[in-house]
A and B are shown apart, each in its own frame.
Chain A
Amino acid sequence: MPFASLQLDDQGNLRHFLTIEGLGRDLLTRILDTAESFAGVTDRSVKKVPLLRGRVIANLFFETSTRTRTTFELAAKRLSADVLNLNISTSATAKGETLLDTLRNLEAMHVDMFVVRHADSGAAHFIAAHADPGVSVVNAGDGGHAHPTQAMLDVFTIRRAKGELTPLKVAIVGDILHSRVARSQIAALNTLGVSEVRVVAPRTLLPKDARSLGVHVFSDLEAGIRDVDVVIMLRLQRERMRGALLPSEHEYFQLYGLTDERLEAAKPDAIVMHPGPINRGVEMDSLVADGPRSVILQQVSHGIAIRMAVMSMAMQASGGENP
């Protein structure tokens, strides 16, 4: 598996955070534990720690995303780092500059870390493979491949709500085929050893050989969420209707939308999650979104702590010997 060698340095420490694949249980647990420490920082009057003071973190977003970019920016600032926001979608590549040239130009400005979001699967890997030594890359979502910080904040939320992860059954409902979030969640949950991971979707939204990801496959919502401890709903993109993948949001909600009634199939203390933003009336109705089982808002705040943890762990020691 080539991903481990790119992401870890020779001491097994995080160097780039690109995908959950190739990372072991211990490292993932360390990320969660480190995030616990950062979670407390938000409750103080001074919501910052000086850990990454003087470091420069560049948000390289080739796909627009206010929400993810803002949490990365907030996380970087809470670490006292300087932040550069670069929305490339409008500038350089529109003029035909290659990704590699963009990278080189930014490196010339002595950026220490890139947080990258791109429409191509493998984009974060490409940048990490070509970055200068001493520069770290964090993947904020590459095509349909991975969104590892989202998966980690989801697992962090589950751990905080449920404690021990191993006995849990988790169901992921929605457009698995196109979802980088789902792929990373599945990898994280399996690596951390949960009891069972399920995916629930109509056939058009399931990838070929879905079972090879290490999941049980369902096309019926009720059967899929029966007796689960966690239900994760994925966002449905509008384009899916246009690509002949689904007839309508109406039918999708009829079959896969979460309501209090349908939730009765799950365990009585099951929690409901969603990476956001929610399409109310499509993935779930408002009663569920705002209801007692929803931990969606907590996911958002956990996102900052997880990203603080990942950025500090991946940030390179700059020169000098290790003791």
Chain B
Amino acid sequence: MTPLFERISITGGHLLDPATGLDGKLDLHIADGVIAAIGAPPDGFDADRTIDAGGPFVIPGIVDLSARLREPGHEYKATIVSETTAAAHGGITTVLVPPDTDPVIDTPAVAELIRRRAKQSAHARVLTVGGLTRDLAGEQLTEMAALQAGGCVAVSNAWKPLANTLVARRALEYAATFDLAVFLHPEDHALRDVGCVHEGRVSTRLGLPGIPEAAETAAIARDLALAQHADARIHFRGISTGAAVEMIRQARSKGLKVTADTAIHQLHLTEMDVDGFDARCHVVPPLRTQADRDALRKGLADGTIDAVCSDHQPHEPDAKLAPFPSTAPGISGLETLLPLALRLTQEGVMDLPAVIRCLTSGPASVVDLPFGRIAAGNSADICIFASGQPWRFDAARMTSWGHNTPFDGWEFDTRVTCTLFEGRVVFHREGVA
């Protein structure tokens, strides 16, 4: 780990930040943990260290709207230290942690515990999403003002249901009092029932209980109506259907304060990948059809979907070593977020600046964070990645404690070479200058 507040110059890289319009060969100079200057160094600037980016891209550090670090409560799966280290490997400098830890983040004390742990590790910024209801039980509101004062940047009930629409309405209204964004998981609990895959051809053939598309769309319709009524800020955390994209597009055009994100794996995998009972593809919301995947891609390209996140859920091996319906859902996704996102450029879905925006300023703006952009005075959170150097992703050699990923063996063209967080190098690939 480099000493605090080293002076660093990053030279020879292609600076790309769609939020500020930077796009070209420019040097970057860092001092006191923030960006000192872009292009020419400030007068009398004497770098303690020079990073020769020589060719690769220099972008703002990635902002990940959902990554489970499993601490407190599930340390047998992973810890804040292990996962923030993995985040650094993936060029991710800010992560938002959902409230479903154990104990749940429904008091400032738990939020503070997480914040402290993250500071000890000092590999990435960990921000908390507080609970919407006490113990996420869906009935009584949390002390949202206290949570906000304690550092929570949004509130959510994770994947647990709210007792009824009246509670949902009240929760949205209360959060709106403090202009707190509410992360809503678009899922009707009753319609989801015991489903574990998309209700469609694959579930029909494999005899697996399915989650219908309506489970997502019914919830979104209900929540849009409530948000409109409450004039609240809502963010749909993790959509999976083309129908959802269309509903959100319509709502936005009518002026509703709605944002949405999708997990990166939804943009690459479909229900067909579950064929053969591959438990690594057991995720919630489930992988849907090819048409849904294409509609999600389109929604990302045209800005209907504001951000792409890892939806990181590291698991211990046993969680996936069982018959499919008995396995835990979730993919360990921090280390493949960037390469998978950049693949969208290669596959012609959107251009490079648009992809970068979905990983940086897009997610940051959902919760009004001053991160995800390169400007003088901003925290020096930087991700440097190289392109054109093919490599094979090997799950066995992941940094995260969770090796549960269906992308094992995938060939990628882009790779993070260096990550800086608050002006310190937190990851540097060997064999690179």
The short answer to whether A and B are in direct contact, CB under 8 Å, is yes
Q: Which residues of A contact B (CB under 8 A)?
A: 1-3, 21, 98-100, 118, 120-123, 125-126, 130, 142-146, 180, 183, 207-210, 212-213
Q: Are A123 and B323 in contact (CB under 8 A)?
A: yes
Shortest C-beta distance, A22 to chain B (Å), equals 10
Question: How far, in whole Å, are A125 and B277 apart by their CA atoms in the complex?
Answer: 8
Closest to B196 in A: A121
Closest to A2 in B: B276
Interface residues on B, range: 20 to 34
Q: Are B322 and A121 in contact (CB under 8 A)?
A: no
A100-B321, A126-B277, A208-B199 given as contacts; is B326 within 8 A of A121 (CB)? no
Closest 6 interchain pairs by CB? A144-B207, A2-B276, A122-B277, A145-B207, A120-B323, A123-B323
Question: How far, in whole Å, are A145 and B324 apart by their CA atoms in the complex?
Answer: 12
Closest to B322 in A: A99
Q: Mark B302-341, 1 if CB is under 8 A from A, else 0.
A: 0000000000000000100111111000000000000000
A-B contacts, 10 of them at CB < 8 A, read A120-B323, A125-B277, A126-B277, A130-B321, A143-B323, A145-B206, A180-B207, A207-B203, A209-B201, A212-B204
Shortest C-beta distance, B76 to chain A (Å), equals 14
Q: Are B204 and A122 in contact (CB under 8 A)?
A: no
Q: Mark B184-204, 1 if CB is under 8 A from A, else 0.
A: 000000000000000111011
For the A-B complex with A21-B205, A126-B277, A143-B207 known, give 4 more contacts whose Cβ atoms are closer than 8 Å.
A2-B276, A121-B325, A122-B208, A143-B208
Q: Are A183 and B324 in contact (CB under 8 A)?
A: no
Shortest C-beta distance, A303 to chain B (Å), equals 21
By a CB distance below 8 angstroms, the chain B residues around A125 are 276-277, 323
A3-B276, A212-B205 given as contacts; is B199 within 8 A of A120 (CB)? no
Q: Are B207 and A146 in contact (CB under 8 A)?
A: yes
Closest to B204 in A: A207
Shortest C-beta distance, A138 to chain B (Å), equals 16
Shortest C-beta distance, A245 to chain B (Å), equals 12
Q: Are B324 and A208 in contact (CB under 8 A)?
A: no
By a CB distance below 8 angstroms, the chain B residues around A144 are 207-209
A2-B276, A208-B199, A209-B200 given as contacts; is B205 within 8 A of A120 (CB)? no
Shortest C-beta distance, B164 to chain A (Å), equals 19
Question: How far, in whole Å, are A99 and B326 apart by their CA atoms in the complex?
Answer: 10
A125-B277, A212-B205 given as contacts; is B322 within 8 A of A100 (CB)? yes
Question: How far, in whole Å, are A107 and B206 apart by their CA atoms in the complex?
Answer: 27
Q: Are A120 and B326 in contact (CB under 8 A)?
A: yes
By a CB distance below 8 angstroms, the chain B residues around A100 are 318, 321-322
Shortest C-beta distance, B286 to chain A (Å), equals 13
Shortest C-beta distance, A206 to chain B (Å), equals 9
Question: How far, in whole Å, are A125 and B206 apart by their CA atoms in the complex?
Answer: 11
A121-B206, A121-B207, A143-B207 given as contacts; is B212 within 8 A of A208 (CB)? yes
Question: How far, in whole Å, are A53 and B318 apart by their CA atoms in the complex?
Answer: 36
Question: How far, in whole Å, are A144 and B323 apart by their CA atoms in the complex?
Answer: 13
Is B179 positioned at the interface, with any CB of A under 8 Å from its CB?
no
Question: How far, in whole Å, are A209 and B326 apart by their CA atoms in the complex?
Answer: 25
Main secondary structure of the interface of B (DSSP, over half): loop
A144-B208, A208-B210 given as contacts; is B275 within 8 A of A120 (CB)? no
A2-B275, A121-B277, A126-B277 given as contacts; is B322 within 8 A of A209 (CB)? no
Shortest C-beta distance, B193 to chain A (Å), equals 9
By a CB distance below 8 angstroms, the chain A residues around B203 are 207-208
A122-B323, A126-B277 given as contacts; is B318 within 8 A of A98 (CB)? yes
Question: How far, in whole Å, are A146 and B206 apart by their CA atoms in the complex?
Answer: 8
Shortest C-beta distance, A243 to chain B (Å), equals 9
Q: Are A126 and B204 in contact (CB under 8 A)?
A: no
Question: How far, in whole Å, are A157 and B335 apart by their CA atoms in the complex?
Answer: 55
Question: How far, in whole Å, are A2 and B272 apart by their CA atoms in the complex?
Answer: 11
Closest to B213 in A: A208
Shortest C-beta distance, A102 to chain B (Å), equals 11
Q: Are B204 and A98 in contact (CB under 8 A)?
A: no
A2-B276, A121-B207 given as contacts; is B201 within 8 A of A142 (CB)? no
Question: How far, in whole Å, are A121 and B324 apart by their CA atoms in the complex?
Answer: 7
Question: How far, in whole Å, are A144 and B210 apart by their CA atoms in the complex?
Answer: 12
By a CB distance below 8 angstroms, the chain A residues around B325 are 120-122, 143
By a CB distance below 8 angstroms, the chain B residues around A21 are 205
Question: How far, in whole Å, are A120 and B324 apart by their CA atoms in the complex?
Answer: 7
Q: Are A213 and B204 in contact (CB under 8 A)?
A: yes
Closest to A144 in B: B207
Interface centre among B200, B275, B318, B324 (most CB of A within 10 A): B324
By a CB distance below 8 angstroms, the chain B residues around A130 are 321
By a CB distance below 8 angstroms, the chain B residues around A2 are 275-276
Identify which of A121, A126, A209, A213 contacts B208 (C-beta below 8 A): A121
Question: How far, in whole Å, are A126 and B206 apart by their CA atoms in the complex?
Answer: 14
A208-B200, A209-B200 given as contacts; is B322 within 8 A of A126 (CB)? yes
Identify which of B204, B209, B318, B323 contacts A209 (C-beta below 8 A): B204
Q: Mark B211-231, 1 if CB is under 8 A from A, else 0.
A: 010000000000000000000
By a CB distance below 8 angstroms, the chain B residues around A145 are 206-208
By a CB distance below 8 angstroms, the chain A residues around B322 are 98-100, 120, 126
Question: How far, in whole Å, are A120 and B196 apart by their CA atoms in the complex?
Answer: 11
